[in-house]
């Protein structure tokens, strides 16, 4: 059941009489339009949120794959360099178990600090839907303004209408 939108322009009467202003919509019509517009707005916001979340999820998945590949190569390289360091330090110190302990502690400390930095970066990164949040704020402001206008219309109308 679609109704024609309110058109505040001045129109000519069909019988060729004078010019008259188009009638103002009733309060019920205004509230119905407000309800329809709000429903459409909510649907559009949901579509926007879904699109943003899909895009964010795809980006996170791609980043996760790249990180996994990098970790694999880094692990292989770390094992080779660690073996070299243990052998070289063991040759210098004449004690291979002490060399293995020193290299192990250094690698664990490096891993701890790199992991801590990565976790802090993830916590700082926003993975939400910032565009949706912003438009929801704008929509809330719009709805408040519409309600103010409806109240103003209600208080400005004479009681006899």
In a 3-state reduction of DSSP, which class is residue 128? Answer: coil
Which tens digit of pLDDT belongs to each residue from 97-122?
Answer: 999 999 999 989 998 999 999 888 88
* Residue spans per domain, the chain: 24-156
Which tens digit of pLDDT belongs to each residue from 36-73?
Answer: 888 888 888 888 888 888 888 888 888 889 999 998 99
pLDDT band of residue 1 (cuts 50, 70, 90) is: very low
Is the distance from CB of 17 to CB of 43 less than 8 angstroms?
A: no
| 10 phi and psi angles, rounded to 5 deg | -80, 135
Which tens digit of pLDDT belongs to each residue from 25-39?
Answer: 787 888 888 888 888
How many angstroms separate the CA atoms of 89 and 81, rounded? Answer: 12
pLDDT band of residue 15 (cuts 50, 70, 90) is: low
How many angstroms separate the CA atoms of 64 and 87, rounded? Answer: 34
What predicted TM-score, i.e. pTM, was given to this entire model? Answer: 0.42
């Amino acid at each position: 059941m679609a109704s024609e939108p309110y058109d505040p322009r001045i129109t000519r009467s069909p019988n060729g009489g004078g010019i008259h202003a188009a009638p103002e919509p009733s309060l019920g019509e205004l509230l119905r339009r407000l309800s329809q517009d709000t429903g459409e707005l909510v649907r559009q916001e949901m579509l926007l949120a879904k699109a943003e979340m899909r895009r964010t999820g795809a980006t996170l998945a791609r980043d996760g794959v790249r990180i996994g590949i990098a970790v694999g190569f880094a692990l292989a390289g770390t094992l080779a360099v660690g073996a070299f360091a243990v052998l070289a330090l063991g040759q210098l110190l004449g004690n291979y178990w002490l060399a293995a302990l020193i290299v192990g502690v250094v690698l664990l400390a490096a891993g701890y600090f790199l992991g801590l930095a990565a976790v802090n970066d993830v916590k700082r990164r926003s993975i939400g839907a910032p565009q949706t949040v912003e438009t929801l704020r704008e929509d809330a402001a719009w709805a408040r303004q519409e309600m103010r206008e409806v109240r103003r219309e209600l208080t400005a109308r004479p009681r006899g209408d």
